[in-house]
Amino acid sequence: MKSIILTYVTASLLLLGACASQPQNVAELEQARASVASANQIPMAERVAGAELEQARDQLQKAEHELANGDDIDKVRYHAYLAIRNAEIVRERAAERAARDKIASAEAERNRVLLTARTDEAERAKQVAMAQGRDAALARDAAAAALAEARQMEEQLKALKAENTARGVVLTLSDVLFETDREELLPGAYPAVDRLVQFLDDNPERRLLIEGHTDSTGADQYNQALSKRRADAVRAALVDRGIDTVRLASRGLGEAYPVASNNTAEGRQLNRRVEIVVSDKEGKFPAAAKRGS
Amino acid sequence: MKQKLLTILGLSAAIGATLLSGCATSSEKPTRQLSRAESYIEIAQNQGAQEYSAVALQSARDKLTQAKRAADKGDHEVARRLAKEAELDAQYAVAQTSRMQAQNSLREVQSSLETLRRETMRSTVN
């Protein structure tokens, strides 16, 4: 009986101790105070987790009350724990929101960079297009200039009564420009020589091949020599007027290349002539020009 | 002596009874609280808390198990508190998981922004 009574008393005192004796330091409560205080410091806490923040404050208040009232310490711990968890949730939500805000601004920045890059690219493309446009304009101008040059040359050659033959551009000075059996140029040849000088001045890259021809009258050797002297006379007239000798080649072809019959006076007159072959722009004569000698 | 002892006994019994009634207030099994905790644990798992908030998730599970055990024993107040703690643990696991996932996304976006900046810088120089 006595031991039963003692047991009961002990049990009651233990219960009393469990519920009533309040240690001033409850670890959970300390932590809850700190957690809630720091949650209160978070500027966007109210906005991102208002309900949880309120819960945290309420639970902490309950725990403080229970401690002050000398309530069950487990109850104090319980409410303190809930306060801690709610405060932690507030902290996590705020951190998440901060991260999401940064994501939004990083994405905005990314779009801005992309837009800038595209704008720059478009600008570069525009400049390239403009540069190409300029190149095209230059090319057009060059082509037009080349065409004009070609037309001008055509005009000049026409004035020289030049012909486009298989041997290239060939012009012919007829024998009436020379005295019979003589190589001196008659004054009547000067206009033709002046036009040649003009042509050579305008087309500095071109060279001339001057060929003398005779009819079949007389000895071959004589005719060859005479044709050479006449060609040289034309060459000398051009050199006298300032044309560089290196641009002028001459040769005598005698009676080997008649352009008409030697049986008639008219034919023989056509055969007595000086032909002038014009080089291409590179100063070369087409292969077909190279005949004789 | 016996008289004195009986007095102490009576007093203690009275105090004990009062304290007991003060400590254990609930009488019904906290079925709703238990299922709430269970739901939040499921939400946390579905969000990937196993990867990002394993400790809190495990705490929630353990407390739910204890809560069920307490409820089975008729210890309803203990069961209710444990279930509530389990729910808060699970809610915290959800919040922590979301926060870490957001921070991971942020790192990805920032690194892709850096890459983009480097690329456009290079192409501008070119």
Average pLDDT, chain A: 84
Q: Which chain A residue has its CA at the smallest distance from B85's CA?
A: A82
* Between residues B64 and A119, the one the model is more confident about: B64
Please check the confidence at residue B24 and state whether its pLDDT lies above 50. no
So what's the pLDDT on residue B19? 44
Q: Which chain B residue has its CA at the smallest distance from A93's CA?
A: B95
Q: How far is A61 from chain B (nearest CA, A)?
A: 17
Q: Are A212 and A228 in contact (CB under 8 A)?
A: yes
Handedness of CA A216, A222, A225, A226 (dihedral sign): negative
Instruction: Please give the average per-residue pLDDT across A32-48, as a whole number.
Output: 94
pTM: 0.53
Residues of A in contact with B117 (CB under 8 A): 113
So what's the pLDDT on residue A20? 47
| Interface test with chain A among B8, B19, B43, by most A beta carbons within 10 Å | B19
Q: Are B125 and A125 in contact (CB under 8 A)?
A: no
* Between residues A279 and A149, the one the model is more confident about: A279
CB contact under 8 A, B120 and A116: yes
Instruction: Please give the average per-residue pLDDT across B66-77, as a whole number.
Output: 95
Does B43 touch chain A if contact means CB atoms closer than 8 Å?
Answer: no
CA distance A67 to A20: 10
CA distance B34 to B86: 9
Please check the confidence at residue A73 and state whether its pLDDT lies above 60. yes
CB contact under 8 A, A20 and B19: yes
CA distance A97 to A273: 104
Q: Which chain B residue has its CA at the smallest distance from A14's CA?
A: B16
Residues of A in contact with B122 (CB under 8 A): none
How does residue A281 score in pLDDT terms, banded at 50, 70 and 90?
confident
* Between residues A90 and B117, the one the model is more confident about: A90
Please check the confidence at residue A165 and state whether its pLDDT lies above 80. no
What is the predicted ipTM?
Answer: 0.77
Q: Are B100 and B52 in contact (CB under 8 A)?
A: yes
Instruction: Please give the average per-residue pLDDT across B81-109, as a whole number.
Output: 96
CA distance B14 to B118: 80
So what's the pLDDT on residue A266? 83
Does B1 touch chain A if contact means CB atoms closer than 8 Å?
Answer: no
Whose CA is closest to A84, among A24, A27, A25, A33? A33
Residue type, A98: A
